Amino acid sequence: MTQDITRLVVGPFNRVEGDLEVTLDVAEGRVRSARVNAPLYRGFERMLEGRDPRDALTITPRICGICSISQSAAAARALGAAMGLAPTPEGAAMAALIHAVENVADHLTHFHLFFMPDFARPAYAGRGWHDRAVSRFTAVEGGALRAAVQARAELLHIMGLMAGKWPHTLAIQPGGVTRAPGLREKLRLQASLRAFRRYLETDLFGAPLEDFAALPDATALMHWTRGDAGLFLEIAADLDLATLGRGAGRYMSFGAYPLAEGPVFARGLWEGGTQPLDTGAILEDVSHSWMLGGAAHPARGRTEPDEAMRETAYSWCKAPRLAGRPVEVGALARQVVDGHPLALSLARDGGVLARVAGRLLELARTQGVMERLVADIQPAALFMAQGTLPREGAGEGLVEAARGALGHWIRIEKGRIAGYQIVAPTTWNFSPRDSAGLPGPLEAALEGVAAGEGEAVPLAVQHVVRSFDPCMVCTVH
């Protein structure tokens, strides 16, 4: 008997940031192959051409309302590299604090608003945990959602104090930050962080964060029963989310929160072991993208949309590859590259459980990072250095957004932006196929996932897609 292949187009694929369409070829109840389409093109890289280089600090944050600070930080780093200007140590620490607050808020948003509501669906009625999932995680209304949204809004008071507002701030500059905190601000920041710790330890983890961060491996993790994290782990065990949507086990991090003494979370490439990372080996392939031109390193790349939207392509997203291969980025990747034992243990399966637990682990660890950054504030310090822009120059700005590695590459000619290229985390994770036919990380992770009869949108597919926490507005920009 010949195998019937059914094509399923899933969209609008919501509870992700931005627009996403996933096309599935299903045979014998399993995904045979997947194609991921980022269906929105705005052309930010083109908007920047010809502008004063400093305008990148105003324009690029507006690529994305959820990763706005990450875009700010990458632009500031790229400009700083072109200027030969580094932030003052205290300025770098405050930029790191602002950035960490956004990343933490994003992890919270993803877990509560985007990922967990699927387990409250009627399709899971009858499971031992379903009543609790409904009570805690019903979309918009669940108790855990309300508590998380409030805790997030109060945490973001740190943005009001140090960054003016969120999203879309100009506070992060190549030389540091525009607002110098005094002792009053320092104590207010500490008060906000203590309140946020109280929320995390009461609701999400149900225990001291350090206990969660000290979990040695996935086995110990699965015995964690407290808080909403415990509910997730119970669900994950029941549905075997550990082996669902497994990745290829190749993780990359640009290194998070660069301070004077180095990044807080390490930079590198991990593939069974940690290796140094050479960003010179990045190539953006456009064979299956509605883009013209050939593959190029982002320092030399361009963005020329294919207005004809040729049939052989299927996404506005380019396909970045490192030394010819796809890599997975995100909180799990960051924690794996940083060598955390729990993350390394989770990486053996590298599926939905690993990605979500990697985010929880990072939430628990980052609280301590933010507390240390605030404790070290010296109100008399210099928080911003001044510099001048070159007439000609180039710079690379590498940061870690909540969703993973984000790079900006700027080229300045005659005092104006001559070229600007951005490779965002979801550009890596949700890239289309490349010229060798290699699927992107999500496309690969979806192969073999169950797609049951009569499921309009297979739940397993939704869990896998959302486990990556995609940000589609960043993806194409």
Partner 1 sequence: MTTLLWLQASGCGGCTMSLLCAENPGLADLLADAGIELLWHPALSVETGAEARALLERIESGQQPLDILCVEGAIARGPRGTGRYQMLSGTGRSLMDWVASLAPRAAHVVAVGSCAAYGGVTAAGGNPSDAVGLQYEGAHPGGLLPAGWRGGAGGAVINVAGCPTHPGWVTETLMMLAAGEAVALDGYQRPRFYADHLVHHGCPKNEFYEYKASARELSQLGCMMENLGCIGTQAVGDCNTRPWNGEGSCTKGGYPCINCTAPEFEDPRHPFTETPKIAGIPVGLPTDMPKAWFMALASLSKAATPERLGVNAVSDHVVVPPTLRKPR
Site for partner 1 in 131-150 (CB under 8 A): 138-141, 145-146, 149-150
Minimum distance of partner 1 from residue 389's CB (angstroms): 10
CA 268 to chain centre: 16
Cα–Cα nearest to 474, from 431, 418, 445: 431
- Work out which of 26, 37, 85, 268 binds partner 1, going by CB under 8 A: 37
The helix (H) or strand (E) run that includes residue 188 is helix 183-199
| 400 near partner 1, judged by CB under 8 A | no
Stretch of 40-48, 200-208, 349-357, 397-405 lying at the interface with partner 1 (CB under 8 A): 40-48
| 179 near partner 1, judged by CB under 8 A | yes
143 vs 249, beta carbon nearer partner 1: 143
Q: Characterize 67-91 residue by residue with b for buried, 16 or more Cβ atoms within 10 angstroms of its Cβ, and e for exposed.
A: bbbbbbbbbbbbbbbbbebbbbbbb
Stretch of 175-183, 217-225, 253-261, 335-343 lying at the interface with partner 1 (CB under 8 A): 175-183
Minimum distance of partner 1 from residue 383's CB (angstroms): 7
15 vs 32, beta carbon nearer partner 1: 15
Please report the DSSP string for 267-316 in residue order. Answer: EEEESSSEE---GGGEEEE-TTBTB-S--B-TTT----B-TT--TT--BS
| 425 near partner 1, judged by CB under 8 A | no
Minimum distance of partner 1 from residue 402's CB (angstroms): 12
19 vs 434, beta carbon nearer partner 1: 19
- Give the pair of three-digit tokens for residue 439: 């699927």
- Work out which of 384, 412, 444, 460 binds partner 1, going by CB under 8 A: 384
| 467 near partner 1, judged by CB under 8 A | no
215 vs 460, beta carbon nearer partner 1: 460
- Work out which of 87, 117, 268, 301 binds partner 1, going by CB under 8 A: 117
- Work out which of 93, 159, 319, 336 binds partner 1, going by CB under 8 A: 159
- Work out which of 27, 29, 50, 280 binds partner 1, going by CB under 8 A: 50
* Pairing, β 251-259 against β 176-177: unpaired
Residues 192-251 close enough to bind partner 1 by CB under 8 A: none
Q: Tokens 């060598």 belong to which residue?
A: 339
Q: Tokens 């580094």 belong to which residue?
A: 86
Residues near 255 by Cβ (< 8 Å), separated by ≥ 6?
A: 262, 263, 265, 266, 267, 268, 398, 400
Stretch of 16-24, 196-204, 215-223, 326-334 lying at the interface with partner 1 (CB under 8 A): 16-24
- Work out which of 152, 302, 340, 359 binds partner 1, going by CB under 8 A: 152
3-class SS of residue 245: coil
Stretch of 174-182, 204-212, 214-222, 273-281 lying at the interface with partner 1 (CB under 8 A): 174-182
Give dist(CA 316, CA 301) in Å, integer: 15
| 6 near partner 1, judged by CB under 8 A | no
Contact between 391 and 414 (Cβ < 8 Å): yes
Number of amino acids touching partner 1 (CB under 8 A): 91
| 25 near partner 1, judged by CB under 8 A | no
Separation in Å, CA 83 to CA 99, 226, 400: 22, 49, 21
For 438, which DSSP code? P
| 62 near partner 1, judged by CB under 8 A | yes
Give backbone dihedrals phi and psi of 325, rounded to 5 degrees, phi first.
-125, 145
The sign of the CA dihedral 159, 116, 195, 257 is negative
In the shown chain, the binding pattern of residues 250 to 279 toward partner 1, with x for contact by CB under 8 A and - for none, equals ------------------------------
Minimum distance of partner 1 from residue 468's CB (angstroms): 15
- Crossing angle of helices 352-375 and 89-109, rounded to 10°: 140
Give dist(CA 9, CA 91) in Å, integer: 47
149 vs 248, beta carbon nearer partner 1: 149
Minimum distance of partner 1 from residue 412's CB (angstroms): 13
350 vs 440, beta carbon nearer partner 1: 440
- Work out which of 25, 32, 47, 450 binds partner 1, going by CB under 8 A: 47
Q: Tokens 């059914």 belong to which residue?
A: 6
Contact between 451 and 110 (Cβ < 8 Å): no
- At position 235, the amino acid (one-letter code) is I
| 357 near partner 1, judged by CB under 8 A | no
CA 42 to chain centre: 20
Minimum distance of partner 1 from residue 267's CB (angstroms): 27
| 294 near partner 1, judged by CB under 8 A | no
